[in-house]
Chains A and B, each alone.
Chain A
Amino acid sequence: DAGVIQSPRHEVTEMGQEVTLRCKPISGHDYLFWYRQTMMRGLELLIYFNNNVPIDDSGMPEDRFSAKMPNASFSTLKIQPSEPRDSAVYFCASSLTSGGVGQETQYFGPGTRLLVL
């Protein structure tokens, strides 16, 4: 079975540009998570969806960040406009829904390494 798929794997952009990160969760998983990892702050949960509906976006740093999940097999995280401090590795993860967020194993994608110049 395919794992979580993310694209692109690497992204280099200039400050002010729009960045779109993409994720395809594991088929059959009802939860989808977006994380950001930096040296300073570690692994941070940005937002998560359940059955394509955003449940908790309290981790989204600012209005420049937005996330959508138009269907069960696709999600995007958009940064507009991007800033150098957004440079990080962005992970998408998915899990089953039966036990809830705290109970089920989250399976992570390979991540997108974003560099904003």
Chain B
Amino acid sequence: AQKVTQAQTEISVVEKEDVTLDCVYETRDTTYYLFWYKQPPSGELVFLIRRNSFDEQNEISGRYSWNFQKSTSSFNFTITASQVVDSAVYFCALGIQGAQKLVFGQGTRLTINP
């Protein structure tokens, strides 16, 4: 069975601090896909990144970076120099080739205080 664990239910930091959101996944499949979504207070779910299991290169997009480590089954998300606009709930998700659905974590609520 597949599972995604986001152990941090809530995180609160002061603006400009760096913050890392953890995502640990479980699967026995060798081909799988990992996703991060952002849900700001307005409610929509915004796609951030997709990574396949064969690409372990870390990714950087502006202040966002993702660290994929198969050895620890983790796909962590770091925001550098956080801003108030980064306040949102962030979801990590796992997709298995041939599966019927994505498996979502429970989400981490991130609050950036001015």
Contact = CB atoms under 8 A, between A and B. Distances in A.
A113 B48 CA distance: 23
B96 interface: yes
Contacts of B98: 100, 102
Contacts, number: 58
* Size category, A interface: 20 to 34
Contact of A45 (B35, B45, B50, B101): B101
B104 interface: yes
Interface of A: 42-43, 45, 48, 55-56, 89, 91, 93, 99-111, 113
A108 B97 contact: no
Contact of A105 (B35, B43, B99, B106): B35
Contact of B107 (A42, A102, A107, A109): A42
B104 A42 contact: yes
Contacts of B42: 110
